Chains A and B, each alone.
Chain A
Amino acid sequence: MIAVLGLLVGAAVGLLLEPTVPSVLQPYLPIAVVAALDALFGGLRALLDGTFNDRVFLVSFLSNVVVAALIVFLGDQLGVGTQLSTAVVVVLGIRIFSNAAAIRRHLFRA
C-alpha cells in the first residue's frame, strides 16, 4: 500500500515541480528508470514467491540503477553509448517480461 502511495506521490511531485533534468544526467535517466522498473517487478515477484526481503529489494533497486547508468556512461566513453543503451534496455526489458510472466502465473495460474 505504501509502495503504491509512494509511486503516486512521487509522480505527483514530479508533475508539480516539473524539474529540468540536468544535462549531465540526461542520457542516464531513461536507463535508470527502466532499471528501477525491473527492480520493482523483481520485488513484486519475490513478494509472491514468499522470499521478499526489504534489504535485498533496496540493494537490488539501487545497484540496478547505478549499474545501468554506469554501463551507459562507459558506453559513452567508448563511443558505443547508443548501442549499449539499446542493449541495456533490451536486457532489462526481457527481465521485466519474465518477472511479469512469473507474477501472472502466481496470480492467475496462467
Chain B
Amino acid sequence: MTPDHRKDAPSPHGPPTPTVASSWRTVARALRPRLSRAQLTAGVLSALLGFALVVQVQANRDVGLAGLRQDELVRILDEVTQRSDELEREAADLRRERSELVTGSDTQRAAQEAAEERAVVQGILAGTLPAEGPGIELTLTEPQGKIPAHVLYNVLEELRNAGAEAIQLNDVRVTASTYVIETEDGVEVDGRVLEAPYRWRVIGDPGTLTTALDIPGGALASVRNASGRTNVTTPDLVEVEAIKEARVPEHATPVPPESTD
C-alpha cells in the first residue's frame, strides 16, 4: 500500500495524504482476489456480518410480542388495560345516556298522547271538532204557527239533562255558550236565524235521550202544544259535523296548579 508520491500538498509530519486516484487504486487493489491473510480475515468477518444481518432482518420481520423485553411487555399491557378501561367507561356512559334518552322519549310520548286525548275530548265539548256516534235525530216541523224560541230552548235543556254529548241544530253546533232567542225574523241561535224544520242531531245514549224527550209534559209535549210536529229516529250513527270556532279567552287565565310539596 504505497501511496502515490505526487502529493497535492507535501506534509512533513504524519502520513502522506493520499490523492483521489491513489485511493481508488487502493480500493481496486483490495478488490482484486488474492489469498492473503488480510483478505481471508475480512472475508470471514464480512460473511459473519452478512449472515447476522440477514438473520436479524428476518427475525425482525415476523417478530410479534415474543421479541420484546419484559418492561416493554409490561408497558404494552398497561396501555392495553388502560385503553380497555377507558373504552369500558365510555361504553357505560353511552349506555346510560341511551337509557335516559329512551326513558325520556317514553315519558314525552305518554305526555303527548295524554295531551292529544285531552285535546280531542275538549274539542268535542267545545264544538271545535266534528263528532260521530250513537244518538238520535229529532225533527221538529211547524205545519201551522211558529215554534217559539223558549220551546226550542226547552228541548235543548232536556237533551243536555239526558246526557247529550254533542248537539247540532240545523247547521249550528250547539255548545255550552249557545243561546236561543226570539227575533222578528224568527228564532236566532248563536247569531244565525234558523227556519223550520228544526233538525236536531244529538250524540248520546239513544234510550236515555228518547225517554227524556217523551216524558209526559216534557219537551216534546211542549212542542206539540205549540202546534209543532215531532219525529224522533235513532240511526246507528249520528254525525255532528258542524263545528264552532273556539274563542280565545280574553280575561280568564287558568289558575296555576298548586305545588304539592
How many Å from the CB of B209 to the closest CB on chain A? 97
- In the complex, A9 Cα to B58 Cα: how many Å? 16
Chain B residues within an 8 Å CB radius of A3:
30, 39, 42-43, 45-46
Chain A residues within an 8 Å CB radius of B93:
none
Report yes or no: A10 in contact with B47, Cβ–Cβ below 8 A: yes
How many Å from the CB of A89 to the closest CB on chain B? 13
Chain A residues within an 8 Å CB radius of B38:
52-54, 57
As a 0/1 sequence over residues 1 to 25 of chain A, the CB contacts with chain B under 8 angstroms (1 = contact) are: 1111111111101110011110100
- The number of chain B residues with a CB under 8 A from chain A is 42
Report yes or no: B30 in contact with A1, Cβ–Cβ below 8 A: yes
Q: Tell me, yes or no, whether A77 is within 8 Å of chain B by CB.
A: no
Chain B residues within an 8 Å CB radius of A14:
50-55, 58
Q: Tell me, yes or no, whether A58 is within 8 Å of chain B by CB.
A: yes
A-B interface contact total, Cβ < 8 Å: 136
As a 0/1 sequence over residues 34 to 53 of chain A, the CB contacts with chain B under 8 angstroms (1 = contact) are: 00110110010001111111
Report yes or no: B27 in contact with A48, Cβ–Cβ below 8 A: yes
- In the complex, A3 Cα to B37 Cα: how many Å? 12
Known: A4-B31, A4-B46, A76-B69. A10 touches B54 (CB 8 A): yes
- In the complex, A3 Cα to B48 Cα: how many Å? 10
Report yes or no: A32 in contact with B50, Cβ–Cβ below 8 A: no
Name the CB-closest residue of B to A51.
B15
Chain B residues within an 8 Å CB radius of A91:
none
Report yes or no: B56 in contact with A33, Cβ–Cβ below 8 A: yes
Report yes or no: B42 in contact with A10, Cβ–Cβ below 8 A: no
Q: Tell me, yes or no, whether B121 is within 8 Å of chain A by CB.
A: no
Chain A residues within an 8 Å CB radius of B33:
1-2, 5
Known: A6-B45, A10-B46. A33 touches B27 (CB 8 A): no
Q: Tell me, yes or no, whether B1 is within 8 Å of chain A by CB.
A: yes
Known: A48-B18, A81-B69. A54 touches B52 (CB 8 A): no
Q: Tell me, yes or no, whether B78 is within 8 Å of chain A by CB.
A: no
How many Å from the CB of B116 to the closest CB on chain A? 69
Report yes or no: A40 in contact with B49, Cβ–Cβ below 8 A: yes
- In the complex, A27 Cα to B68 Cα: how many Å? 8
Report yes or no: B40 in contact with A2, Cβ–Cβ below 8 A: yes
Known: A4-B31, A48-B18, A48-B23. A21 touches B50 (CB 8 A): no
Name the CB-closest residue of B to A80.
B71
- In the complex, A3 Cα to B30 Cα: how many Å? 9
Name the CB-closest residue of A to B54.
A14
Q: Tell me, yes or no, whether B13 is within 8 Å of chain A by CB.
A: no
- In the complex, A40 Cα to B42 Cα: how many Å? 9
Report yes or no: B42 in contact with A50, Cβ–Cβ below 8 A: no
Chain B residues within an 8 Å CB radius of A36:
45, 48-49, 52
- In the complex, A32 Cα to B48 Cα: how many Å? 11
* 4 additional contacts (CB under 8 A) given A37-B53, A57-B38, A58-B41: A6-B44, A11-B51, A26-B67, A61-B45
| Chain A to chain B: the 3 pairs with minimum beta-carbon distance, closest first | A10-B50, A14-B54, A6-B43
10 contacting pairs across A/B (C-beta < 8 A): A2-B43, A7-B46, A9-B50, A14-B54, A30-B60, A32-B52, A48-B23, A49-B18, A61-B45, A79-B71
